[in-house]
C-alpha cells in the first residue's frame, strides 16, 4: 500500500532536526537582539565595542560582495570599451598611414619643385637651352647606363645635344624619335667627356665606369697629381658639350687616374634640360698684307 502523500514532520528525523535548528536560530536571534538592545540602552560603550567587533567581521565580506557586484555590473561597459578602443586604434593607424603617404608625396613635390627652380635659374642665364623635359626612366641596374627623355625631334631635340640638370652634366642625346630621346649617361662606359680642372685648368677626360662613378685621366700629360675634392667641368673641347658645366668631383686618386663621383646624381633624376651642341667660335682668318703674305 502506498504511503500517504501528506506526511507530518514527525515522520522524518531530518525534518525534525531542521525544524528544531530553525527554532534555535530564531530564539538565539531574539536573545542576541534583546541583549544588544539592553546594551545600547544601559551601557552604550559596551554596545559600541560589540558593534565595532561585528563591523570588523562583516566589512570585508560586504566589500567583497560590493566589488563582485560592481564588477559584474561593469562587465558590459568594459567589453564595449574594449571594442571601441580597438576600433579607435585601427582608425588612428589608418590615419597615420594616410598622413605618412601625404608627407612622402609632399616631400617628393618639394624636391621636384626645388630642382625645377634651379633648372629655371640655369635656363635664365643660358642662351642655348632647347627644352626642359622629364627623364622618365633610366637603366640603374645595368652596367650600360641610359635614360629616356620625354621630348624628341618634334620638340627640336637632336642627336649629340648635351643633357644636364642644375647640379651638372647628365649625358648626351644619342637617339631621337618624335616625342622621346635616348640619353647616354656620363657614367656609362662608352661616355667620354672632355673636362678641365677648375683650380688650374688642367685638361682631362672623364670616362664612365658603369658603377655610378667616373674615371678621370689627364689628357696628354703624365705624372699629374689628383687631389680628393678636385672639381672638373666641361672644357668645350670637341665642340659638343658647352663649357663650364660641372661634371665630377674626385674622391680617391690612383696611380695615373682618379675616381670621381658625378656632380649630378644619376639615381635621382627627374627633370633635365637639353642644350644646343656647342660650336666654339671659329678662329679668325688671317688678314692679307700689302706684300701678299698673311699675318
80 falls within a domain: no
Distance CA 294, CA 233 (A): 36
pLDDT at residue 107, rounded to an integer:
65
Interacting residues of 229 by C-beta distance below 8 A, sequence separation 6+: 249, 250
Higher local confidence (pLDDT), 190 or 267: 190
Q: Is pLDDT of 232 > 90?
A: yes
pTM of the model: 0.56
Q: What is the DSSP string of the chain?
A: -PPPSS--GGG-HHHHHHHHHHHHHHHHHHHHHHHHHHHHHH-HHHHHHHHHHHHHHHHHHHHHHHHHHHHHHHHHHHHHHHHHHHHHHHHHHHHHHHHHHHHHHHHHHHHHHHHHHHHHHHHHH-S-EEEEEEEEEE-TTSSS-EEEES--GGGT--TT-EEEETTEEEEEEEEE-SS-EEEEETTSTT-EEEEEETTT--EEEEEE-SSS-EEEEESS--S----TT-EEEE--TTSSSPTT-EEEEEEEE-SS-EEEEESS-GGG--EEEEEPPP-PPPPPPPPB-TTS-B-
C-alpha 89 chain-centroid distance: 22
pLDDT by residue (tens digit) across 264-286?
876 677 778 888 888 765 666 66
Mean predicted confidence (pLDDT) in 106-132: 62
> For residue 218, what is the domain's CATH number?
2.40.10.340
pLDDT value of residue 47: 64
Domain assignment present for residue 93? The answer is no
Query: Is the predicted pLDDT of residue 40 greater than 80, yes or no?
Result: no
Please give the mean pLDDT across all residues of the chain.
76
pLDDT level of residue 116 (50, 70, 90 thresholds): low
Q: Is residue 11 part of a domain?
A: no
pLDDT band for position 141 (50/70/90)? low
Q: What is the pLDDT, as a whole number, of residue 248? A: 92
Q: Note the Cα 160 to chain centre separation in Å.
A: 38
Residue 194 lies in a domain: yes
> Is 212 inside a domain boundary?
yes
Looking up cell 668645350 gives 236
8 A C-beta contact, residue 293 and residue 248: no
Model confidence at 27, in pLDDT bands (50, 70, 90)? Answer: confident
Q: Which of 116-120, 195-199, 230-234 has the lowest mean pLDDT?
A: 116-120
Q: Identify whether the C-beta of residue 164 lies closer than 8 Å to the C-beta of residue 262.
A: no
Contact indicator for 195, 247 with CB cutoff of 8 Å:
yes
Question: What proportion of the chain, given as a percentage, has pLDDT over 90?
Answer: 16
Q: Check if the beta carbon of residue 226 is closer than 8 Å to that of residue 216.
A: yes
Give domain status of residue 228, yes or no. yes
Residue 118 has pLDDT above 70, yes or no: no
Residue 190 lies in a domain: yes
Cα separation of 16 and 258, whole Å? 115
**Which set of grid coordinates corresponds to residue 183?**
640619353
Q: What is the mean pLDDT of residues 127-140?
A: 75
Is residue 217 scored above 80 in pLDDT? yes
Q: Which domain covers residue 148, as residue numbers?
A: 130-275
Q: How many domains does the chain have?
A: 1
When computed from its CA atoms, the radius of gyration of the chain, rounded to whole angstroms, is 48
Contacts of 9 (CB under 8 A, 6+ apart): 15, 16, 19
Does a structural domain hold residue 195?
A: yes
pLDDT tens across 41-92, in order?
Answer: 776 776 676 667 666 676 777 677 767 776 666 666 666 676 677 777 887 8
Amino acid at each position: 500500500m502506498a504511503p500517504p502523500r501528506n506526511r507530518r514532520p514527525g515522520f522524518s528525523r531530518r525534518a525534525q532536526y531542521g525544524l528544531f535548528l530553525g527554532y534555535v536560530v530564531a530564539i538565539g536571534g531574539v536573545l542576541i537582539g534583546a541583549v544588544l538592545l539592553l546594551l545600547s540602552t544601559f551601557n552604550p560603550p559596551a554596545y559600541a565595542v560589540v558593534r565595532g567587533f561585528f563591523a570588523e567581521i562583516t566589512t570585508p565580506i560586504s566589500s567583497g560582495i560590493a566589488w563582485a557586484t560592481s564588477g559584474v555590473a561593469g562587465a558590459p561597459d568594459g567589453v564595449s570599451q574594449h571594442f571601441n578602443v580597438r576600433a579607435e586604434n585601427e582608425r588612428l593607424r589608418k590615419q597615420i598611414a594616410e598622413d605618412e603617404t601625404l608627407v612622402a608625396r609632399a616631400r617628393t613635390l618639394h624636391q621636384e619643385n626645388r630642382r625645377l627652380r634651379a633648372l629655371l635659374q640655369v635656363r635664365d642665364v643660358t642662351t642655348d637651352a632647347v627644352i626642359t623635359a622629364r627623364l622618365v626612366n633610366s637603366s640603374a641596374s645595368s652596367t650600360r647606363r641610359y635614360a629616356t627623355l620625354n621630348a624628341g625631334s618634334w620638340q627640336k631635340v637632336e642627336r649629340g645635344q648635351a643633357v644636364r640638370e642644375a647640379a651638372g652634366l647628365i649625358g648626351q642625346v644619342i637617339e631621337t624619335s618624335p616625342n622621346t630621346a635616348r640619353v647616354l649617361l656620363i657614367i656609362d662606359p662608352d661616355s667620354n667627356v672632355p673636362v678641365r680642372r677648375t683650380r688650374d685648368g688642367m685638361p682631362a677626360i672623364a670616362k664612365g665606369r658603369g658603377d655610378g662613378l667616373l674615371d678621370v685621366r689627364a689628357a696628354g700629360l703624365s705624372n699629374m697629381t689628383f687631389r680628393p675634392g678636385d672639381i672638373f667641368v666641361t672644357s668645350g673641347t670637341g665642340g659638343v658639350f658647352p663649357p663650364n658645366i660641372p661634371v665630377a668631383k674626385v674622391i680617391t686618386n690612383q696611380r695615373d687616374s682618379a675616381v670621381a663621383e658625378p656632380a649630378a646624381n644619376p639615381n635621382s633624376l627627374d627633370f633635365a634640360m637639353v642644350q644646343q651642341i656647342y660650336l666654339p667660335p671659329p678662329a679668325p682668318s688671317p688678314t692679307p698684307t700689302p706684300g701678299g703674305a698673311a699675318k
